[in-house]
A and B are shown apart, each in its own frame.
Chain A
Amino acid sequence: MTLQELYTEIGGDYSEVRGRLPSDKFIQKFVLKFLDDKSYDLLISSLEQGNSEEAFRAAHTIKGMCQNLGFNTLLASSAELTEALRSGLTPEAGPLCERVKEDYGRTVTAIRSFQEGMST
């Protein structure tokens, strides 16, 4: 699996990222680092605890990472979630969080399989 294929898989704009970031190696490094980021866990736990402020920040961070890495699908859902959480918990947050979960799951799964492809 190539980086480009990975981006296609997770709904990202490879050419844009490629234009912005210096090299494929660079991109690859940070794409893999995405797996280690704890923001998603923070988001989920904050939402469970009903801590909207923390959840907002976490969603915001995810949005920022996705912007940097060009993960457009997850970017869209996390951005919407961010807005839904900006002024506290809103009814939209629930379903949007579901979408973020779904998109995040897909992204992470794809990156993992990409990682596996590299190691083999």
Chain B
Amino acid sequence: MKYNTMRFLKVSLALVVLLCVVVFTFLAYYMNYQSSATISEIGTIYMAGLNERISMHFETTIDYNLNQIESIVQNYPPRSADYGTLAENMGSNALERGFVSLALYAEDGAFEMLCGEQIQVTDPEPFFRSMQSQEKKVAVGTDETDDSIVLLGVPAAYEMADGRESLALVVALPTDYFKQILALDSDESNSLVYSHVIRKDGTFVIQSSDAYRGNYFDRLRALYQGENLEEAEKHITDLYEAMQKNEPYSVVYHLPGERRHLYCTSLPNSEWYLVTAMPYGQLDEVVSSMGNTWTSLVLGGCALILIVLGSIFVYYFRLTRQQMVELDNARKTAEKSLTMAVDARRDAEKAQQVAEHANKAKSEFLSNMSHDIRTPMNAIVGMTAIATANIENRQQVQHCLKKISLSSQHLLGLINDVLDMSKIESGKMTLNIDQVSLREVMDSIVSIVQPQVKAKHQNFNVCIYDISSENVCCDSVRLNQVLLNFLSNAIKFTPEGGTIQITLRETESPKGAEYVRILLQVKDTGMGMSEEFKEKIFDSFTREDNTRIHRTEGTGLGMAITKYIVDAMGGTIQVESQQGVGTEFNVTLDFEKAEVAEVDMVLPPWNMLVVDDDQQLCESTASALQSIGIKADWVLSGEEAVEMVVKKHQRREDYQVILLDWKLPGMDGISTAKAIHARMESDIPILLISAYDWGEIEDEARQAGITGFISKPLFKSTLFYGLKKFADGKEEGEPKEESPHHAIDFNGKHVLLAEDNELNWEIAEELLTDLGLQLDHAENGQICVEMLQNSQPGHYSAVLMDIRMPVMTGYEAAVAIRKLDHPDANLPIIAMTADAFSEDIKHCLDCGMNAHVAKPIDVREVARLLEKYMEN
């Protein structure tokens, strides 16, 4: 395409140039021809005019001279005087008039001279005839010296000397006279034109100076210098014929080296012809210089046009090239877009494949699920049938029921997961953000997994490092779910004797000072995962397709749900795993710090020793202790601990409390405690720290002299509350020292407590009465509402509301109270419930309650809330 255009351009340029040259050459040639033709024409016209002028001049001259003669005749008429006088007078008169000679022409052709030299006619015959016929005549003759003269004859009958009458009066004039008159012998050498007067036979009558031949025809022949004689003869013949016919003759003849124009006309009153010749030499020069000018102008024009054309071509060429480049770019762009389009299509195809894959995974999952659901379902149906058949056999029925219950649990787990997943997939899962105590979350998680860990004889460890903000804002239910999922997976896939560790760490959050970043790690020494499975562990509907897993129950949705929750919380999950070695999940979550005014946790400035084999835990615990006013040392083993205690004792800087890990390498916690007691007289309180259930080891521990137990995880508050009782005085019932804190005097304030359970009511009553409150008991929501309605305005300061009650629940009661037409309808209502899930709390608040406390009743918390809301 590009080359075609270029070729077209080049060819067309060449063609145009060629055409230009041809046209202009033709023009130049044609104009030259035309101009020379025109010149010839002009020459002819000019020559004709010139000849006419010359001949007219000749005629006038002749006429003049004839008139002169006639005047002589008139002045001296014949017989006016005698011959002698007359001849003398006439002779002198003629001389006066410029004639050379005057003679009387006799009838016999002889001249009788009246004056001047004797003359003779060169060709007497025609002259004589003309005289005889009384015509005027001009002829050429000679004088005595044989010089050429011109004779003019006028008929006149004069008496001659011999008495006869003359035929005519003849005068002679010098030839030069004519030459001058006719300008035939111009002195101007550059004169273009020269003329001759010739007779029919070509002989000269009057010839210009340079004509040396006697005959004009010879002269012509000579002029051709022997070349092109045919043309010369032709011209001569033509000229002769024209003279015979008395017609004017005009011709251009080409002599070697020049061109000449010849023009011939007859002269009146004579047998003569005027031949005028004009050489073209100079004219040719003028014309050719004009032609040259013309040619150069044409060539210049041609060149100009070519230059303009060339420029246009070059410009166009460049333009085209530019367009080509642009076109090329456009093409490239187009190609690029095409590539992009192709890529996009490929992406789309990929996406489609992914979608298809997901779809396939879903259907596979469905078929797996159907199978998974059918298996326990079959068990339930089958076992039910067996139980029915053996209804009398108690043992058999019990066995069947146990199987049925197990299968049902399994089935329920599957269904719950699927429901959760469908909630996620339809985007209906939302987070209920509330204030959450990480300590409570961890405590509850630990207490839930403890039995399972125990059953599988696994080692379980909880490590809390540097947690400064125990209270954060998050969805506790979902956080629980995440932790439980990790831990239950870890327990499920870790063989007996394996180790499971959960670690909680706090760092600064990139989201700002109001946030903390919690790093959660769950690590096990379980079977691990294959690389391929690790890639898609968080995909929905996947489960490692492996026979050993098939023995393990579950939907395979747990991790997907977990991932979704963590994503929703704005966190990340990383997984590291090696088959046969173990798995490690790292979760990073950013939580907003809760705005709770943390209890001012200060303990006496004790010296304490922390013993644990985990150095980080030691450091973290020591710094946590420091923050509540305790000076803490730490060591990593039982042996070192004993050494330290002894050393300190010797320096009389005894430790007030020792925190001792139960599981230590080498000397374990119990042996260490024993060793310390053996070395020391005084009883230093030793507290055991462990993630295990205290109940199992309490007896042994007590015997070893261990005073108490603090359950891991070791949050600051865990440490504070665990150690506080030692600060309050050893053992026996120290009264609570809450009252001094109260900004409000609870004395005499009436509080309505709705609680259906007698025991719970009594506990609450007893605890709260201690604060000085007067409690009234409502057995259910209905009674509570009625009591409030019937009360004096301002009688009750607040309502403490249980949620789960017969007749009317706490939720309904709260709504009803808010709708009451009673001045106290807006009094503070504080929910008390065993359900600490965020959804329940939200429900409480939605029903118009002010706050929520979890059971078991913590007097401090209740007092704090009452204080807060009663103040307003």
A61 touches B412 (CB 8 A): no
B857 touches A68 (CB 8 A): yes
**Of B698, B733, B735, which is within 8 A of A8 by CB?**
B698
Kindly list chain B residues whose C-beta atoms are within 8 Å of the C-beta of A79.
834
A65 touches B858 (CB 8 A): no
Within 8 A of B (CB), among A44-60: 54, 56-57, 60
When A22-B767, A30-B759, A90-B412 are in contact, do A8 and B709 touch as well, CB less than 8 Å? no
Closest to A90 in B: B412
**Of B448, B695, B722, B736, which is within 8 A of A22 by CB?**
B736
The interface bits of chain B over 676-718 (1 if a CB of A lies within 8 angstroms of the residue's CB, else 0) are: 0000000000000000001100110000000011000000000
B411 proximal to A (CB < 8 A): yes
Within 8 A of A (CB), among B528-587: none
Flag the segment in B187-195, B399-407, B637-645 that touches A: B399-407
Within 8 A of A (CB), among B384-428: 401-402, 404-409, 411-412
The interface bits of chain A over 32-54 (1 if a CB of B lies within 8 angstroms of the residue's CB, else 0) are: 01101101000000000000001
B856 touches A57 (CB 8 A): no
Q: Does more than half of chain A's interface fall in helix, strand or loop, or is it mixed?
A: helix
**Of A34, A54, A67, A91, which is within 8 A of B834 by CB?**
A67
B805 touches A57 (CB 8 A): yes
Q: Does more than half of chain B's interface fall in helix, strand or loop, or is it mixed?
A: helix
Alpha-carbon gap, A11 to B805, bound state (A): 27
Closest to B694 in A: A13
Alpha-carbon gap, A68 to B722, bound state (A): 18
Within 8 A of B (CB), among A1-40: 8, 11, 13, 15, 18-26, 30, 33-34, 36-37, 39
Alpha-carbon gap, A10 to B840, bound state (A): 29
B112 proximal to A (CB < 8 A): no
When A64-B855, A65-B760 are in contact, do A8 and B695 touch as well, CB less than 8 Å? yes
Kindly list chain B residues whose C-beta atoms are within 8 Å of the C-beta of A82.
834
A57 touches B806 (CB 8 A): yes
Alpha-carbon gap, A70 to B443, bound state (A): 14
**Of A8, A30, A72, which is within 8 A of B763 by CB?**
A30
A91 touches B759 (CB 8 A): no
Alpha-carbon gap, A33 to B859, bound state (A): 20
Closest to B410 in A: A91
A22 touches B759 (CB 8 A): no
Closest to A23 in B: B733
When A76-B447, A91-B408 are in contact, do A64 and B708 touch as well, CB less than 8 Å? no
Alpha-carbon gap, A19 to B711, bound state (A): 14
When A63-B834, A76-B447, A92-B409 are in contact, do A20 and B760 touch as well, CB less than 8 Å? no
Kindly list chain A residues whose C-beta atoms are within 8 Å of the C-beta of B770.
22
Kindly list chain A residues whose C-beta atoms are within 8 Å of the C-beta of B732.
24
Alpha-carbon gap, A26 to B736, bound state (A): 13
B766 proximal to A (CB < 8 A): yes
Per the CB 8 Å criterion, the residue count for chain A at the interface is 41
B724 touches A19 (CB 8 A): yes
B756 proximal to A (CB < 8 A): yes
B804 touches A68 (CB 8 A): no
A105 proximal to B (CB < 8 A): no
B409 touches A91 (CB 8 A): yes
Kindly list chain A residues whose C-beta atoms are within 8 Å of the C-beta of B758.
33, 36-37
Alpha-carbon gap, A56 to B407, bound state (A): 22
Per the CB 8 Å criterion, the residue count for chain B at the interface is 50
B834 touches A60 (CB 8 A): yes
When A15-B709, A67-B856 are in contact, do A39 and B409 touch as well, CB less than 8 Å? no
**Of A18, A54, A68, which is within 8 A of B855 by CB?**
A68
Q: Give, as a whole number of angstroms, the nearest-CB distance from B511 to chain A.
A: 34
A39 touches B757 (CB 8 A): yes
Kindly list chain B residues whose C-beta atoms are within 8 Å of the C-beta of A92.
405, 408-409, 412
B57 proximal to A (CB < 8 A): no
A30 touches B725 (CB 8 A): no
Kindly list chain B residues whose C-beta atoms are within 8 Å of the C-beta of A24.
732-733
Kindly list chain B residues whose C-beta atoms are within 8 Å of the C-beta of A21.
763, 767
Alpha-carbon gap, A90 to B410, bound state (A): 12
Alpha-carbon gap, A63 to B804, bound state (A): 11
A25 touches B733 (CB 8 A): yes
Q: Give, as a whole number of angstroms, the nearest-CB distance from B195 to chain A.
A: 150
B762 proximal to A (CB < 8 A): yes
A65 touches B759 (CB 8 A): yes
B447 touches A72 (CB 8 A): yes
A117 proximal to B (CB < 8 A): no
Q: Give, as a whole number of angstroms, the nearest-CB distance from A64 to chain B.
A: 4
Alpha-carbon gap, A73 to B857, bound state (A): 18
Alpha-carbon gap, A61 to B834, bound state (A): 8
**Of A15, A37, A60, which is within 8 A of B708 by CB?**
A15
Q: Give, as a whole number of angstroms, the nearest-CB distance from B414 to chain A.
A: 12
Within 8 A of A (CB), among B464-492: none
A91 touches B411 (CB 8 A): yes
B447 touches A67 (CB 8 A): no
Alpha-carbon gap, A46 to B758, bound state (A): 19
B721 proximal to A (CB < 8 A): yes
**Of B402, B406, B695, B725, which is within 8 A of A11 by CB?**
B695
Q: Give, as a whole number of angstroms, the nearest-CB distance from A86 to chain B.
A: 9
B757 touches A64 (CB 8 A): yes
**Of A20, A30, A64, A91, which is within 8 A of B762 by CB?**
A30
Q: Give, as a whole number of angstroms, the nearest-CB distance from B689 to chain A.
A: 13
Closest to A83 in B: B835
Alpha-carbon gap, A77 to B380, bound state (A): 23
A95 touches B804 (CB 8 A): no
B699 touches A64 (CB 8 A): no
Kindly list chain A residues whose C-beta atoms are within 8 Å of the C-beta of B834.
60, 63-64, 67, 79, 82
Q: Give, as a whole number of angstroms, the nearest-CB distance from A11 to chain B.
A: 6
Kindly list chain B residues whose C-beta atoms are within 8 Å of the C-beta of A15.
694, 708-709, 722, 725
A95 touches B409 (CB 8 A): yes
Alpha-carbon gap, A92 to B725, bound state (A): 40
Alpha-carbon gap, A46 to B860, bound state (A): 36
Q: Give, as a whole number of angstroms, the nearest-CB distance from A73 to chain B.
A: 9
**Of B447, B757, B805, which is within 8 A of A37 by CB?**
B757
Which of B407, B760, B834 has most chain A Cβ within 10 Å? B834
B733 touches A95 (CB 8 A): no
Closest to B858 in A: A20
Q: Give, as a whole number of angstroms, the nearest-CB distance from A51 to chain B.
A: 11
Alpha-carbon gap, A18 to B708, bound state (A): 12
Q: Give, as a whole number of angstroms, the nearest-CB distance from B399 to chain A.
A: 13
A94 touches B804 (CB 8 A): no
Within 8 A of A (CB), among B816-862: 833-835, 855-859
Kindly list chain B residues whose C-beta atoms are within 8 Å of the C-beta of A69.
763, 856
B760 touches A64 (CB 8 A): yes
Kindly list chain B residues whose C-beta atoms are within 8 Å of the C-beta of A64.
757, 760, 802, 804, 833-834, 855-856
A57 touches B804 (CB 8 A): yes
Kindly list chain A residues whose C-beta atoms are within 8 Å of the C-beta of B760.
61, 64-65, 68
Kindly list chain A residues whose C-beta atoms are within 8 Å of the C-beta of B722.
15
Alpha-carbon gap, A13 to B450, bound state (A): 14
Alpha-carbon gap, A91 to B373, bound state (A): 14
When A11-B695, A65-B760 are in contact, do A18 and B408 touch as well, CB less than 8 Å? no
A19 touches B721 (CB 8 A): yes
Alpha-carbon gap, A57 to B679, bound state (A): 55
Alpha-carbon gap, A65 to B859, bound state (A): 15
Pairs A–B under 8 Å by Cβ, sample size 18: A8-B695, A15-B694, A15-B708, A22-B735, A22-B736, A30-B763, A57-B756, A60-B834, A61-B757, A65-B760, A68-B760, A68-B763, A69-B763, A91-B407, A91-B411, A91-B412, A94-B404, A98-B405
Known A15-B708, A22-B767, A70-B856; 14 more pairs at CB < 8 Å: A8-B699, A19-B725, A20-B858, A22-B736, A34-B759, A37-B757, A63-B834, A64-B757, A69-B763, A76-B451, A91-B408, A92-B405, A92-B408, A95-B408
3 cross-chain pairs, A with B, having the tightest CB-CB distances, nearest first: A91-B408, A95-B405, A23-B733
A-contacting residues of B (Cβ < 8 Å)? 380, 401-402, 404-409, 411-412, 447-448, 451, 694-695, 698-699, 708-709, 721-722, 724-725, 732-733, 735-736, 756-760, 762-763, 766-767, 770, 802, 804-806, 833-835, 855-859
